[in-house]
Chain A
């Protein structure tokens, strides 16, 4: 364990300082600084290719970075497999394309982590899984396979799968972008509920209604850097940066 940066608040669960990342010669993340407090809900938006997803994927080390420091739950992310696996246990992630395991039933998808990573007995893991399936309101689908569920149901299963690991932090990577319009609400409802229970959340999303409703802070990114961050009211009604204004007018203007 490495002590968190002295400048950071002791309540911060994620501290990102001067994060820089390159894909080959392409500079994708440029001097990212972000502190997230426990229980804080953060929405990241921005045009595609702006580095939103890459940023949150650095947090559970699905992406590596070359410069800067990233401390999650007091553990500094360095080239150390033990730390990475510890972080991955504490940080849940929900993907745009759900990424459920198609060869396993819903219940098996949910119990895989608790059984193999947390070494829980099968019965206990199934109990936990059913608890979270009930929370996302699809306990009756437990024995089906992911391919038999609708997109919205699959995404709720994916959220439940992350919750089964009892994470401190949840990362959402465009969780509603691949869904039919009619299914977006059922997923957002689950996310709102989670936010109200005090989960620390970072969501990459363009659901501005969701941002207004639950976010403590909205971050706008473009060209690999954070352009603007503010609490939602200020962010939407009084953007400080021209680029933010343009973006908001594009996505809210129709």
Chain B
């Protein structure tokens, strides 16, 4: 009888791998493609030096006043002089360690969610995430900890954008999960309430929600009660975010095969054990890209808070641009700065999310 002889694996032909093959496949595959490639190179060659000249070689870096900007390039002195306000708003300088501490806590909680030993990771990170908004507000406000009270009127700058977005998503996350569950519920009352809630907050522009939060919401409170403006806006962001995320989760729920529910039922898990131990982790896994997209949207939407006069980073920038000592027209530098700060944050979140996705991907054979 013949014996089965496997053929040894050979390397791929040289024409299909390597740099030149990549160039040919991607940039010069057809004549129109080659033309496009060459024109893009020409455009870059013309404009890049101009941009670099403006941003670096002819730019002004040192100094503290507008008079220091003598060269014709960018006036980075403007950013430098206002950087404290851009980041921290009008928070008192001697108390600014409290903002930094809150930021450090935020970073630590994020890091802990990845690096803690697997046995305690889930419990520890969920607890710390849920505690974070409370602890953060206590530190920033100071009242509960016996620190000097810093009124929310003084909070501002880019850190306010970060805190508003983070505090909203943390609270919105469990809520949106419940809304999504409610929308799938077989009980008509729960289902219709969920549908109405979700569709309302998805169907209304976030700007009008902010106006409602700042102008209309106080009308519903009892006379004499004065709920802080930031808290009202926080509520609006939570509702808005949970409406969107509920739909994200709904998509995730639909992606979990019914066999998972049946298997969980067949070993006798209760409803909530089934949802929390079996279904939720899989829902989060498939929803991860959309959760991030929703969060990035919310984060960028926090700049709309300037409309209702909350001194977040863009509002602070506009204050700086209209300052009588800085009337030389620094809008380009200012908006470029805001652009870079947001882009940097959102890009790092993408990187982080990709890491989470990789960590959660258990399908690959190794």
Q: Using a CB–CB distance below 8 Å, which chain A residues touch chain B? A: 60, 62, 85, 88-89, 91-93, 95, 97, 99-103, 112-113, 116-117, 145-148, 158, 161-162, 165
Contacts and interface: CB of A to CB of B under 8 A. Distances in A.
A248 to B, nearest CB: 30
B185 interface: no
Top 8 A-B residue pairs of the complex, sorted by shortest distance between their CB atoms = A99-B263, A145-B362, A113-B267, A147-B363, A99-B259, A88-B268, A93-B266, A89-B268
Contacts of B229: none
B203 interface: no
B285 A117 contact: no
Contacts of A165: 267-268
B265 A95 contact: no
Counting chain A CB atoms within 10 Å of each CB, the highest count among B259, B262, B265, B266 belongs to B266
B282 interface: yes
B260 A99 contact: yes
A105 B237 CA distance: 37
A161 B268 CA distance: 12
Interface in B288-329: none
A161 to B, nearest CB: 7
Name, among B262, B267, B362, B365, the residue most crowded by chain A CB atoms within 10 Å (CB to CB).
B267
A95 B268 contact: no
Contacts of A89: 267-268
26 contacts: A62-B265, A62-B266, A85-B268, A88-B268, A89-B268, A91-B266, A92-B266, A92-B267, A93-B263, A97-B257, A99-B260, A99-B262, A101-B264, A102-B363, A103-B281, A103-B282, A103-B285, A103-B362, A112-B267, A113-B268, A113-B269, A116-B277, A117-B267, A146-B362, A148-B366, A162-B266
A178 B98 CA distance: 59
A117 B265 contact: no
A88 B365 contact: no
A161 B259 contact: no
A219 to B, nearest CB: 21
B364 interface: yes
Contacts of B270: 85
B278 interface: yes
Contact of B265 (A88, A101, A102, A145): A88
A115 to B, nearest CB: 10
How would you classify the secondary structure of chain A's contact residues: helix, strand, loop or mixed?
Answer: mixed
A102 to B, nearest CB: 6
B341 interface: no
B44 interface: no
A97 B259 contact: yes
B127 interface: no
A117 B262 contact: no
B320 to A, nearest CB: 48
A116 B273 CA distance: 8
A117 to B, nearest CB: 4
Given A102-B282, A103-B285, A117 B269 contact: yes
A113 B364 CA distance: 25
B260 A95 contact: no
A47 B262 CA distance: 23
Contacts of A148: 362, 364-366
B126 interface: no
Interface residues of B, number: 24
B360 interface: yes
Contacts of B366: 148
Contacts of A161: 267
B362 A102 contact: yes
A101 B274 CA distance: 11
A102 B364 CA distance: 11
A99 B262 CA distance: 8
Nearest to A145: B362
A165 B263 CA distance: 13
Q: Which of B265, B270, B277, B362 has the most CB of A within 10 A?
A: B362
Contacts of B267: 88-89, 92, 112-113, 117, 161-162, 165
A92 B266 CA distance: 7
Interface in B321-366: 360, 362-366
A146 B268 CA distance: 21
Nearest to A158: B263
A85 B264 CA distance: 11
A159 to B, nearest CB: 12
Given A89-B268, A117-B268, A95 B263 contact: yes
Given A85-B268, A95-B259, A95-B266, 15 more contacts: A89-B267, A92-B266, A95-B262, A95-B263, A99-B257, A101-B260, A102-B282, A103-B281, A103-B285, A113-B267, A116-B273, A116-B277, A117-B267, A148-B364, A165-B268
B268 A147 contact: no
A237 B104 CA distance: 77
Contacts of B257: 97, 99
B281 A62 contact: no
A89 B365 CA distance: 32
A117 B364 CA distance: 30
A100 B259 CA distance: 9
B317 to A, nearest CB: 44
A100 B263 contact: yes
A109 B104 CA distance: 37
A103 B278 CA distance: 8
A52 to B, nearest CB: 16
B263 A101 contact: yes
A88 B281 CA distance: 23
A146 B263 CA distance: 14
Nearest to A96: B259
Interface string B175-207: 000000000000000000000000000000000
